[in-house]
Structure formats: C-alpha cells, structure tokens
Amino acid sequence: MNSKLPERAYSEYDNFAFHPYNIMLMLLLAAITALFLGLAAAFIYTRAQTGIGAVKIPLLFGVNTLILLGSSYTMVRAKRAYLNDETRNYQYCLGATILLTLLFLVMQFVAWGQLFGINIFPETDNSAGYLYVLSGLHFAHVLAGLPFLGQFLFRSKKQMIDPVTVLVYFSDPEKRLRLRLLSIYWHFLDGLWVFLVIFLLLNQLIG
C-alpha cells in the first residue's frame, strides 16, 4: 500500500511568482519605488547644492501615518475574514478600510491647507516643492487604489446573498488572488508613507 500523500494540484492562482497579475504588481511596485527613491535623492542633491532649509512638515502628517496604519490593520482583518468565510466581518473590514482611506485623503488636504496658511506653497522654494510633489504623488497612488477597494465591497454585497452564493464567492481563487495583491499594494503604500514622513523629518532635523 502506498502511504504517500497525494500531491496538491497545481494552481496558477496560488503560484505567486508566475501568475501575470503578480508580475504586473511587482513591476508596478518596483516603478513606484524607483520614482520615490529618485525624487528623494534629487531632493538631497538639491539641498546640498542650494543650501536651502527644509520645510517643517505639519503635525497632521504624523496623524495621517496612524490613519494609514489603521487601514493596513483593517485590510489584514478583511483578508483573514475572507479566508475564514466570515461574510459580515469581511464586509465590515473592507468598509472600515475605505472610510480610513477617505479620512486620510481629507486630512491630507487639511495638512496642505495648514502649509498654505503659513504661506508655504509649491513655488515657495525647492524644499517646499519637493514636499508637495512627494506627498502629492503618494496621495495620487492612494486615490488610485480606492476604486479597487470599493469594487470588492460592492461585489461582496451584490454577490453574497445566500449561503450558496457566499460559498461560491469565498471559493473563487481569482478573488482570493486579487485580494492578496490589493493587500500587498495597500501595505506597500502605507510603508511608503512611513518612509516619506521619516525622510522629511530627518531633513528637517538636519536643517
């Protein structure tokens, strides 16, 4: 009698390395990383050449960091609820992630408004310009991810009507893959924001 356990069937959705969606996401994240690292290096070079001081970032940048970390937490909870077939908790956590994201976007406008209030505009100097470009580009990437979150929540409410449709929804490997990729993208953006805040703070401390 052969006691060897049957091998698990190959699934392109579980193979993180080679599925086209995975490759596309990795290329996207690599491009975003190169963009922000290039801008950060250019900022340092410009400051070294011109000797201009750094702009003091608003306190709300720190508050926004906590908001984004909160959205990462709810995204983790949403993914866990999906894997455990917890319908209501899954929808609740997706909704909470969307609300936290919207709060971040609103608070970012408030933070820029505080800078405007003390006459710091993108054209004030190179240091201010880089601050607005870095935070503005991050804002744009967060905004770009918001429709995908909304789509997940909308489809879950539309397609998860009874026990049968719930079972079909949670057993769909493509949905599981898309949720995993969206989670990675979201955590990446949160980590990127933490990097930007620390980078701007260090420039501020250096003076």
H and E: helices and strands count for the chain: 6, 0
Predicted TM-score (pTM) of the model is 0.87
Enumerate domains of the chain plus CATH numbers: 20-206 (1.20.120.80)
Summarize pLDDT for 153-206 with one digit per residue, the tens: 998 888 888 788 888 888 888 888 889 999 999 999 999 999 999 999 998 887
Summarize pLDDT for 81-121 with one digit per residue, the tens: 988 888 899 999 999 999 999 999 999 999 999 999 999 99
Distance CA 140, CA 64 (A): 15
Q: Could you tell me where the beta strands, DSSP code E, fall in the chain?
A: none
Q: Give the tokens for residue 107.
A: 């608070």
Report helix, strand or coil for 172: coil
Distance CA 94, CA 183 (A): 11
Any idea of the CA torsion for 5, 177, 186, 86, to the nearest 10 degrees? -80
Report helix, strand or coil for 38: helix
Report helix, strand or coil for 124: coil
